[in-house]
Structure 1
Amino acid sequence: MTLELIIALFIFLTPLVNSPGPGNSFYMALGASKGFAGTLPSLIGYHVATFIVTLIIGFGVGMAFLSNPIISKALQIFGSVYVAWIGVLFLREALSNDSSGVEESESRSAGFFGGAFLLLTNPKAYYVIAAMCTQFIVPGAEKNSNVLVLTSIFTLYNFVAFGVWSFLGSQLTKIFLDKNSRKWFYLVSSACMFGVAAWILFR
C-alpha cells in the first residue's frame, strides 16, 4: 500500500473505530467489571478472529456465504444471545451477595473464545471489513501484500481503540468503590449489554 492509501485508511477508520458502538460499549463495560487486564483474553480472541476474517474477506472469499440472508440472520441471533448472556451475568453480579460464582461464569464467557465468538457473530463487522477492503485493496500483482498490510493495520488499530475503551471502563471502578455504588454500576452495565444485544438483533 502507498503512503497516501495508508493515511486515507487511518482517516477512514478513525470515526468508525473510535466512535461509541456495540464493540466499544461491550469492552468498556467489561473493563469496568473485570479491570483492564481481565479484558485482555477477550480482546486478543476478538482480534485474532478479526485478523483471520479480514484476510478471508480481503482475498475475496466468504462474501457469497455472508450474503445468504439465513446465515446473516443466524449470526445476528447468536451474537445477540451471547451479548445478552453477558448482560445476565452483570445483572446476577448486581443482585448477588456472593459474586464468586458469577465472576467465574463471567470469566469463562469473556475469555479468548468468547471474544472470538463476539466477532464471528457480529454481521456488522463483516460488512465494515468488506467495505474497507473494497476501498483500499488495489488489484494487481501486489494484492497479497496489500491485503496483509491492510489486515495488520486494521486489526492493530481496532485493538488499540478497544483497549482504550476497556481501560476507561476499568477506571470507573475507582469511582464506584462502595458496595451500593457497584450494585448500581453493574445494573447500568447490564442494561448496556441488553441494549447492545437489541442493537445487534434489530438494527
Structure 2
Amino acid sequence: MSHAAQLWLFFVVVFGVIALPGLDMAFVLGSALSGGRARGLAAVGGIVAGGACHVLMTALGISVLIRLVPGVFDALLLAGALYIAWIGISLLRSAVALRMPTARHAAVPLGTTFRQGLFTCLLNPKAYLFMLAIFPQFLRPADGLLWLQALVLWAIVALTQCGVYGTLALLAGRVRGWLQRRPAGGTLATRCVGGLLIAVAVLTGAEALRPA
C-alpha cells in the first residue's frame, strides 16, 4: 500500500471513530446548547488540544503503561467518570439558563470551556487505547522520520475533529436560538444532554469498579 493510500485509510478509521457519539461529542453539544456557538467552538478547541496531548503521550509510551498496568487504567476510568458526571450535573442545574440568554452563561469565560474540553478528552481512557492500537500501525520507518509521520497523523485527527465537532457546534448554536424562543424545549434539551453525560459517567464508573 502506498503512503498516500495509507493516510486515506487512517482518515477513514479516524472519521468513523470521531463520528460515533461519545463523551467528546456530548460535551460539544452540551456546550453549544447551553452557551451558544462560541462556547461550542471553545469546547472543540479543547478537545483538539487534548488530541494533541494523546499523540504526545503515545509517543512517550504512557499509553503502553496504561494498557499494561490495569490499576492505572481503572483509576483513569473513574476520574473521567467523576469529571463527566460533574459537568452533567452542572448542565442539569443550569438548564433554566436557556430561558434567559443573558448574564450567566455569557459571563462564563471561553477559556473555562476550553479547559473542560481538554480535560474531557484527556480523561477518556478509550482514546489512549485507540492511540495504542491504531496509531502505531500507521507509522512506518521506511516512509521517513517517525516524528514527522506522527505530526501528519495528528493533523488528520485534528482536522477531522474540527470538521465533525465544529459542524455539530455550529448547528447546535443555531438550534439554541430556536430553543431560546421555546423555553420548555430549551430546558428539556439541556437536561437531556446533562442526563446523557451522567448516564455515560455511571456506565464508565461501573466499568472501572467492576472486579477483574
After TM superposition, list the pairs within 5 Å mapping 1:155-170 onto structure 2: 155-170=158-173
- CA RMSD, 1 decimal: 2.7
> Match for 1:160: what amino acid?
G
Give the deviation of 1:150 after TM superposition.
0.8
Residues 1:184 and 1:25: Cα distance change in structure 2 (over 3 Å): same
Matched, 1:147 2:158: no
Question: 1:20 aligns to what SS in structure 2?
Answer: coil
Indicate conservation of the 8 Å contact 1:55/1:151, yes or no: no
TM-score by length of 1: 0.85
2:20 corresponds in structure 1 to: 19
* Residue of structure 2 aligned with 1:119, choices 110, 121, 137: 121
Give the deviation of 1:167 after TM superposition.
2.0
Indicate conservation of the 8 Å contact 2:81/2:202, yes or no: yes
Q: Distance in 1 between matches of 2:104 and 2:86?
A: 12
Indicate conservation of the 8 Å contact 2:47/2:120, yes or no: yes
TM-score by length of 2: 0.82
> Match for 1:167: what amino acid?
L
Question: 1:173 aligns to what SS in structure 2?
Answer: helix
> Match for 1:5: what amino acid?
Q
Give the deviation of 1:122 after TM superposition.
0.7
Matched, 1:186 2:190: yes
Indicate conservation of the 8 Å contact 1:82/1:118, yes or no: yes
Residues 1:66 and 1:169: Cα distance change in structure 2 (over 3 Å): same
1:64 corresponds in structure 2 to: 64
Q: Distance in 2 between matches of 1:120 and 1:182?
A: 29
1:19-72 CA-partner distances (Å, limit 9, x unpaired)? 222221221122111112112333222211211221331x35213321222221
Matched, 1:88 2:69: no
2:205 corresponds in structure 1 to: 201
Q: Distance in 1 between matches of 2:15 and 2:198?
A: 26
Give percent identity, aligned residues only: 22
Which 5+ residue runs of structure 1 have no aligned equivalent? none
> Match for 1:197: what amino acid?
A
Give the deviation of 1:103 after TM superposition.
3.5
Indicate conservation of the 8 Å contact 1:28/1:168, yes or no: no
Which 5+ residue runs of structure 2 have no aligned equivalent? 208-212
* Residue of structure 2 aligned with 1:172, choices 156, 172, 175: 175
Residues 1:94 and 1:147: Cα distance change in structure 2 (over 3 Å): closer
Paired residue total: 202
Runs of 4+ off more than 3 Å: 95-110
Residues 1:125 and 1:60: Cα distance change in structure 2 (over 3 Å): same
Q: Distance in 2 between matches of 1:126 and 1:27?
A: 20
1:29 corresponds in structure 2 to: 30
Residues 1:64 and 1:8: Cα distance change in structure 2 (over 3 Å): closer
